[in-house]
Amino acid sequence: MPDREDITDLRLLRFDALAVLTLEKGLPELIHIVHLLPYGKENQIEVISSNFYSLRLNFKEFINNLEAEMNRARAIDVNDPREKAILISVSTAPKYILEEHMEELEELAKSADVLVIDKIIQRVKQINPKYLLGEGKLRELIINAMDMGATLLVFDQNLTPSQIRAITDMTELKVIDRSQLILDIFAKRAQTRDGKVQVELAQLRYMLPRLTGKGTAMSRLAGGIGGRGPGETKLEIDRRRIKERIHHLENELEKLTLARLERKKRRKELSIPIVSIIGYTNAGKSTLLNALTKSNVFVEDKMFATLDTSSRRLKFPEEKELIITDTVGFIRDLPEDLVAAFKATLEELEDASLLIHLIDISNPQFENHIDSVNKILKELELDTKPVILVFNKIDKIPFFEVKQICSRYNAIGISAKDRNTLIPLIDEIKNRLWQEVTCNAPL
């Protein structure tokens, strides 16, 4: 009979079936055929035992029928070209924090056009330095993932190069972490040359330490989620070539930065004040820019729908005007390589006379989002800039809650989709800029 090790190999290696022969005097007597059952069945395997010589089984037809039954049990469309992912969060943090982070990871996955088929939250007393969670738990998780038809495992925690290698050695599934998922979204959404250069630079810096002794760990990421941008050929080149590419991109980024500085210099010469809209991703920054300036910057209800900085002029009846810029959305624990690459883009904020910190008031985690944005501003040494706190999407929660929250934060409440609600914000922008001009005017 098949033993426990045979069953483990059957499940991990995804054999169609496994047969064990029983010999009698050197000749086959019994045959035991073991195969997996569709996901969700009470018994995970089935064993067919028969006399070797009387076995009558159309193996091809049997396996085809079994595969069809398994596909029906998975409740997902096997023809769907999207990656099928299981999201995993393993941490010592309280459960409510893990649940909040999992919700955000799911939003990120949707932004990357990934089909989420399951979510696993594992609260542990101690992080396993090799596998993040225990080897037995990880093996069980991988088996269930394959049973459900998953093609991708996404970890909320950032994995070290050694952890990625250890986990991928155990499975044929692709394995990525939160940072790589964000990088993939950025690669998909970047439109301008500036944005594309910054994303590729961030990806190569992220991948460089993971290429050492990679084996199959990185080769599985060629194409699809986690493999956009540099692409398959760049993943296979050696460290020296990658370093050369990084050096080339850094030089190109420097040239693009100089071009931006020239544009900023011309704006300064015209003495046009700059107001920058900042905020957590998907807070509605591009929608607000469109509403204020009657523009048509691309908007979508997804995280990081727009990456490239957009600038538009806003004219006032008093023959005054200003430039409003829409920056890339902020997010907690932004990958370091991405912060470094996008620092050039966020340099636009240095010349801003005023920052509009836009917050999605309908998001239950808006307080954490405010803290994340403030933390990034501090890292960029921009926390001394004058800021107007603006709560967006006030149409999504009761009015008395809006009034209470705005009062607590000394903020303005708006709905970027309703231009009538923007009047207090426009008045506040004019008052702040007028005060700035008065303060800086010569005596």
DSSP type of residue 443? -
Of 2, 3, 51, 47, which is closest to residue 27 (Cα–Cα)? 51
Does residue 304 come out as left (phi exceeding 0), alpha (psi in the -120 to 50 range) or beta?
A: left
Site of tokens 């044929």: 172
Residue 286's CB is within 10 A of a number of other CB atoms, namely 22
223 assigned binding-site residue? no
Angle at 274 between CA 326 and CA 367, to 5 degrees: 50
109 assigned binding-site residue? no
- CA 101 from chain center: how many Å? 11
306 assigned binding-site residue? yes
286 assigned binding-site residue? yes
Give the type of residue at 109.
A
284 assigned binding-site residue? yes
279 assigned binding-site residue? yes
271 assigned binding-site residue? no
Q: How far apart are CA 198 and CA 339, in angstroms?
A: 10
- CA 159 from chain center: how many Å? 14
217 assigned binding-site residue? no
394 assigned binding-site residue? yes
304 assigned binding-site residue? yes
328 assigned binding-site residue? yes
Task: List, in sequence order, every residue forming a beta bridge with 390; answer none if it has no partner.
Answer: 358, 412
| 17, 57, 69, 79, 94 from 62: Cα distances, Å | 10, 8, 11, 22, 47
Give the type of residue at 27.
L
Residue 355: strand, helix, or coil: strand
194 assigned binding-site residue? no
371 assigned binding-site residue? no
Task: List, in sequence order, every residue forming a beta bridge with 33; answer none if it has no partner.
Answer: 19, 48
Q: Are strands 18-24 and 27-36 parallel, antiparallel or unpaired?
A: antiparallel
283 assigned binding-site residue? yes
Q: How far apart are CA 260 and CA 279, in angstroms?
A: 22
195 assigned binding-site residue? no
326 assigned binding-site residue? yes
Q: Are strands 45-51 and 387-392 parallel, antiparallel or unpaired?
A: unpaired
| 116, 120, 122, 348, 362 from 102: Cα distances, Å | 12, 9, 11, 32, 18
415 assigned binding-site residue? yes
53 assigned binding-site residue? no
Does residue 308 come out as left (phi exceeding 0), alpha (psi in the -120 to 50 range) or beta?
A: beta
Residue positions forming the annotated binding site for GTP: 279-286, 304-308, 326-329, 392-395, 415-417
- The annotation places the binding site for Mg(2+) at 286, 306
Residue set of the binding site: 279-286, 304-308, 326-329, 392-395, 415-417
